[in-house]
Amino acid sequence: MPESGASRAQQERTHISTTGTGTAEPVTAPGTGTTDRKTDRPGRADGTAAETPPGGPVATRAARRTGLLVTLVLGGLTALPPLSMDMYLPALPAVTESLRAPAATIQLTLTACLTGMALGQLVVGPMSDRWGRRGPLLLGMIVYVVATALCVFAPTVELLIGFRLLQGLAGAAGIVIARAVVRDMYDGVEMARFFSTLMLISGVAPIIAPLIGGQVLRFTDWRGVFAVLTLVGLVLTLVVWKWLHETLPPQDRHTGGIGDTLRTMRGLLADRVFTGYMIAGSLAFAALFAYVSASPFVMQEIYGASPQTFSLLFGVNSIGLVAVGQINGKLLVGRVSLDKVLTFGLSAIVLAATALLLMTSGVFGDVGLVPVATGLFVLMSAMGLAAPNTNAQALMRTKHAAGSASALLGTSSFLIGAVASPLVGIAGEDTAVPMALVQLVCGVGALACFLGMCRPWQRTSTA
């Protein structure tokens, strides 16, 4: 990130658009009733207008390289949580046998990580609003590396659950601060597009993570998976230390204590529309994590897929999510209302979950792996419309508390996901009905919260 990033972030956060005459005009974000002129112009990857910088083509190429680097760093931070979860998925049956624990207990290692990510964001988000983005992020990354290394040597399932909780608490820094940095640098349509770009990069993680995990298991046991994750965390920590500069200038930071932080969050939650987007996105996220938690057992134990086949199917589903996310960012954003796209995405989740429930409950007889995998593919692909648009619409309403808003979005998502994950195994390992039922309840709840609380037909938006 260039050294001028702080001043640019300050300009973005105060919603000031500089015209060609040198005068500054205030601009209000889409969704609040007026148009964000800044997003009407083509933008560079670093969030500024696509004007030729001083220095001509050489400076233009340098700016593009810088924008690409920032995108890759933020994408890496966003990719770390799914990487931590998905590399481990093919090993769940092996962990069950190695630690001599029931499947429901082993699934608590996923729940612990999700819970840690949820609670950690509540702490790290306000910290980043007060002390800047860089310091809390580096601290979180260092603790993540240590916690992941401890997972390698966990002798019991209880200690593994504890280390996974610490891993999630520390890994939360990457999630919440990456979103806050995007809010520092972008607004309006460009922010929605950048979230779709992040989905492309972070989507690479769930595509390759199970494949890597499956291959690692061919040469070592499940502990080797955590060893690889430790190395990945260490590399990303070094990348952040070297290339991610501060985006929140000192004059824009909050100086209050815990009381001020709580008042800020209370004010955000009092915004019915913000809360509606937050809950809708969180319930959709829970439907996704019901799949993440249950799919290793559903695919391998019930439908007979090998670890390599499961990894391949998981990768195909992730490709669907990434592809639809790119259609959202490249073709739909700026042409179709974000609320209309979001309505379609949530409706698709509900329809896919309904089909899965009918198939897994035996309404269509004894279905095989392909129909169930197809239903999961549709559900995962629809997340490419739901996730970036709920985040963008919610963050458009938060001008001066991006860290706290990002923390609430992330905490809500991971807490609801942590509750949904163990429910998928409540009926044992021989049925996929709980997974489909949880997904359907979450999908219907997400659509109902969006329509009932956000009431998109009552608001005009250019996004």
> What are the pLDDT digits (tens) for 256-312?
666 777 788 888 899 999 999 999 999 998 898 888 778 878 888 888 788 778 878
In the block, residue with structure tokens 């955590």: 226
Residue 112 pLDDT more than 70?
yes
For the range 143-147, what are the long-range contacts, defined as Cβ-Cβ under 8 Å and sequence gap of 24 or more? Answer: 143/169, 143/170, 144/80, 144/170, 144/171, 144/173, 144/174, 144/233, 144/237, 145/230, 145/233, 145/234, 145/237, 146/170
Task: Give the residue from 396, 437, 455 showing the smallest Cα distance to 30.
Answer: 396
Secondary structure of residue 26 in the 3-state scheme:
strand
Residue 16 pLDDT more than 60?
no
Q: Max alpha carbon distance in the chain (Å)?
A: 71
* Mean pLDDT to the nearest integer, 147-155: 92
Task: State what percent of residues in the chain have pLDDT above 70.
Answer: 80
From the number of C-beta atoms within 10 Å of its C-beta (0-12, 13-18, 19+), residue 23 rates as: exposed
390 vs 397: CA distance, rounded Å: 11
Per-residue pLDDT at 317:
86
CA-CA-CA-CA torsion sign (406, 407, 410, 416): negative
Residue 23 pLDDT more than 50?
no
Q: What angle do CA 41, 43, 45 make, to 5 degrees?
A: 170
- Over residues 334-355, the pLDDT tens digits come to 788 889 999 999 999 999 999 9
pTM of the model: 0.67
**Distances 222 to 110, 154, 398 between C-alpha atoms, Å:** 14, 11, 42
Per-residue pLDDT at 253:
78
CA R_g for the chain: 22
Residue 421 pLDDT more than 80?
no
237 vs 80: CA distance, rounded Å: 11
412 vs 118: CA distance, rounded Å: 7
Is the Cβ–Cβ distance between 254 and 401 less than 8 Å?
yes
Residue 463 pLDDT more than 80?
no
- Write out the DSSP string of 125-140: HHHHHHH-SHHHHHHH
Secondary structure of residue 15 in the 3-state scheme:
coil
Per-residue pLDDT at 36:
41
Arithmetic mean of pLDDT over the chain? 78
* Mean pLDDT to the nearest integer, 370-385: 91
User: Number of helices (H) and strands (E), helices first, in the chain?
Assistant: 15, 2
Who contacts 363 (Cβ-Cβ below 8 Å, separation ≥6)?
A: none
Which two structure tokens, joined as six digits, stand for 146? 């240590």
Residue 211 pLDDT more than 50?
yes
Q: Place 219 in a pLDDT band, splitting at 50, 70 and 90.
A: confident
- Over residues 44-61, the pLDDT tens digits come to 333 334 444 445 555 455
**Distances 313 to 203, 274, 345 between C-alpha atoms, Å:** 14, 35, 21
Q: Place 194 in a pLDDT band, splitting at 50, 70 and 90.
A: confident
Residue 454 pLDDT more than 70?
yes
Per-residue pLDDT at 350:
96
Residue 4 pLDDT more than 50?
no
Per-residue pLDDT at 429:
64
Is the Cβ–Cβ distance between 359 and 372 less than 8 Å?
yes
Per-residue pLDDT at 460:
53
